[in-house]
Amino acid sequence: MSGAPEVPGPTALTRARRLVTTAVVGYLVLAGCGVLWAGIDEGGVPSGAPDLPVGFSVAGEQLQCASGGCWREFALRLPAGVDGSRALDLLRPALGCGPPDPITFRRTCTSLLDEDSPRRLVVAHG
């Protein structure tokens, strides 16, 4: 019997390592593309109104852009019988920034145009 010695095939551990390595490299490539796109796409804007507390509704919407990017402004209709200070209390949990997008790492942030008025909401990438 002459010939080359038999070389064993890849083990399950080797295949698992290859799979994990491929997944990690794939994610890093996608994330890198996402970060580049976020930098290029300064005009990127969130797609719609955030979830509002019960009773609130959107009365109007405007897209605004400036040198820092674009954002959406929403005119809000308050619930019947709710005054401004109570409306502010109800809206506060909806304000702030969400978790970063896993591809672009951009966060969608919601804030009030005027901190003392619950009538205009701003949604932008932060």
Q: What is the pLDDT along the chain (126 residues), one digit of tens a residue?
A: 556 666 666 687 788 888 888 888 888 777 766 555 555 555 567 777 888 888 999 999 998 888 777 889 999 999 999 888 899 999 998 899 989 888 777 888 999 988 878 889 888 887
Asked if residue 29 is part of any domain, the answer here is no
**Between vectors from CA 58 to CA 54 and to CA 60, what angle results, nearest 5°?**
170
Within a domain: residue 13? no
Q: Which amino acid is at 50?
A: P
Give me the number of domains the chain comprises. 1
> Is position 65 within any domain?
yes
**What are the structure tokens assigned to 100, written together?**
């970063």
**Radius of gyration in angstroms for the set of CA atoms belonging to the chain, rounded to a whole number:** 25
Within a domain: residue 24? no
Beta bridge partners of 57: 77
Task: For residue 79, give its domain range.
Answer: 57-125
Helix (H, G, I), strand (E, B) or coil at 73: strand
Residue 74 is predicted with a pLDDT of: 93
Does residue 34 belong to any structural domain of this protein? no
3 state SS of 28: helix
Answer yes or no: is 106 within a domain: yes
> Is residue 19 a part of any domain in this protein?
no
Distances (CA, A) of 109 to 49, 50, 105, 124: 11, 9, 13, 5
- The pLDDT value recorded for residue 5 is 65
| Residue 61, pLDDT score | 92
Q: What pLDDT is stored for residue 8 in this prediction?
A: 62
